[in-house]
């Protein structure tokens, strides 16, 4: 007699944000094996980048890989192509870029927390966090002129300068958000439905974090100091007050806390940048066509993203390779699922913050 029963989760499921399909083989309540299918939204962006669009336009194309980390994708591409073209940007451009990256991280983390709350059955909290998230979205909208697709970064600099009104708005909203995040930290440490019942659920051990190449908050919650912001000198993160935030147990509870504390750190960084911004050019002129290859790593909200570019001296790039955080974390996620209860699967999945449009490109 067959002992296991196969239960699918996805590709459409009430707890899922994105089209992904997991087939869980369960023995009673326990998950024993997991099969995954992640390619539902494959759009062939890598091919389009090399055949349809010129290198100056690719930045706008890769922004469409993912709506949440649009700015990170453009940024990684831009840094890569600037490396090939040998463009040196000034301090002001770097700071404006970090500002947008960190604002992006704040709203992405808030979205993830909102979904963790929703999957724990706390609908009101979901609404509340999504409401708070508007504060950040407003800042981004005021700075870049659009709500989701910012198109803020371009080769050689940024497209818009920040006005005094934006600065004021950013300061007030960030201060407001800071208080709300403090409040949320309280709720995510003491509330039964969002915090205490998630202790020791979906845990990734410190060793497995390294064995499975875990990235981003998933790894940092397990205590592994893995963060591209600390390992790369492309953007001056150390000057703006970056701090590595680590958890201990690698369970859902810790992942939420790591995210919340990172939001606090990001708010601090944004405030530092805004108060230290100087006058200066926002665009560096450049000439010539790219020739050569570059490897770029950048810390997206969910972990490391990696761009490989190869240009051969024409307007078209020869190869664009995008590696996104969720893509390389799938084996790690599968490992966490094995051995946990089926009933916990949606909550565990939400706490990973998977991004399928990134994964399938």
Partner 1 sequence: MQEIKIENLIEEITSFYDPKLHHFVCLNANDLGENRLKLQWIFTFYNQEDNYQIFWTICSFDEVLPTITKIIPSAIMSEAEIVDLFGVQIKDIQGGLYLDETSPISPLRCSI
Partner 2 sequence: MIKSIIESFSNLFAKSETINYPYEQIAKFKNYRGLIEYSADECIFCYKCEKVCPPDAIVFKPTKEKNRLYEYNPNLCIYCGECVRNCPKEDLALWQSEKKPKII
Site string for partner 1, 323-342 (x = CB under 8 A): x---xxxxxx--x-------
Q: Least distance in Å: CB of 224 to partner 2?
A: 35
The Cα–Cα gap between 317 and 312 comes to 7
CA distance 39 to 360: 5
Contact 334, 36 (CB under 8 A): yes
* Residue choice 79, 204, 234, 258 for contact with partner 1 (CB under 8 A): 234
Copy the structure tokens of residue 253: 């509870």
The residue among 21 and 264 lying less far from partner 1, judged by its C-beta, is: 21
Where does this chain bind partner 2 (CB under 8 A)?
53, 56-57, 60-61, 127, 131, 138, 141-142, 144-146, 149, 151, 154, 159-160, 163, 165
CA angle 95-97-103, nearest 5°?
100
Half-sphere exposure of 78 (CA within 13 A, CB side): 28
232 interacts with partner 1 by CB under 8 A: yes
The two tokens of residue 359 are: 């994964």
Among 306, 317, 350, 357, binds partner 1 (CB under 8 A): 306
CA-closest candidate to residue 347, choices 97, 15, 31, 35:
15
Q: Give yes or no for a cis peptide into 11 (omega within 30° of 0).
A: yes
For residue 310, state whether it binds partner 1 (rule: CB under 8 A): yes
Minimum distance of partner 2 from residue 243's CB (angstroms): 29
- Least separation in angstroms between CB 319 and partner 2: 19
The answer to whether 271 contacts partner 1 (rule: CB under 8 A) is no
**Which residues from 189-228 bind partner 1, rule CB under 8 A?**
207, 210-213, 225-226
Distance CA 140, CA 119 (A): 27
What span, in angstroms and rounded, lies between the C-alpha atoms of 122 and 130?
A: 13
Site string for partner 1, 129-168 (x = CB under 8 A): ----------------------------------------
Cα–Cα distance list, 302 to 20, 89, 236, 256, 328 (Å): 17, 26, 20, 13, 11
Q: Judged by CB under 8 A, does residue 314 bind partner 1?
A: no
For partner 1, the binding residues (CB under 8 A) are: 38-39, 42, 44, 46-47, 207, 210-213, 225-226, 230-234, 295, 297, 304, 306, 308, 310, 318-319, 321, 323, 327-332, 335, 360
């Amino acid at each position: 007699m067959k002992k296991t029963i196969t239960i699918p989760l996805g590709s459409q499921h009430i707890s899922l944000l994105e089209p992904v399909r997991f087939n869980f083989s369960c023995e009673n309540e326990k998950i024993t094996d997991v099969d995954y299918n992640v390619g539902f939204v494959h759009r062939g962006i890598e091919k389009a980048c090399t055949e349809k669009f010129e290198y100056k336009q690719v930045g706008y194309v890769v922004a469409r890989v993912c709506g949440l980390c649009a700015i990170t994708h453009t940024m990684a591409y831009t840094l890569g192509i600037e490396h090939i073209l040998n463009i040196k940007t000034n301090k002001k451009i770097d700071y404006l870029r970090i500002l947008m990256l960190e604002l992006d991280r704040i709203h992405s983390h808030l979205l993830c927390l909102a979904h963790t709350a929703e999957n724990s059955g706390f609908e009101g909290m979901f609404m509340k966090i999504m409401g708070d998230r508007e504060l950040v979205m407003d800042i981004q909208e005021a700075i870049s002129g659009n709500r989701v697709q910012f198109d803020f970064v371009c080769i050689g600099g940024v497209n818009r300068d920040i006005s005094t009104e934006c600065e004021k708005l950013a300061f007030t909203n960030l201060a407001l958000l800071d208080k709300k995040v403090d409040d949320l930290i309280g709720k995510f440490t003491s509330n039964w439905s969002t915090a205490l019942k998630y202790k020791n659920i979906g845990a990734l051990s410190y060793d497995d974090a390294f064995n499975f190449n875990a990235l981003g908050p998933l790894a940092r919650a397990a205590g592994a100091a893995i963060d591209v912001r600390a390992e790369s000198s492309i953007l001056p993160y150390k000057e703006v007050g970056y701090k590595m935030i680590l958890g201990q147990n690698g369970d859902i509870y810790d992942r939420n806390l790591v995210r919340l504390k990172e939001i606090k750190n990001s708010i601090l960084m944004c405030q530092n940048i805004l108060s230290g911004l100087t006058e200066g050019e926002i665009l560096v002129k450049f000439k010539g066509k790219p020739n050569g290859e570059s490897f770029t790593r950048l810390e997206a909200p969910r972990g490391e993203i990696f761009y490989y570019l190869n240009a051969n001296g024409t307007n078209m790039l020869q190869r664009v390779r995008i590696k996104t955080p969720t893509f390389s974390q799938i084996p790690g996620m599968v490992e966490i699922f094995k051995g946990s209860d089926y009933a916990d699967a949606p909550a565990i999945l939400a706490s990973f913050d998977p991004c399928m449009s990134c994964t399938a490109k």
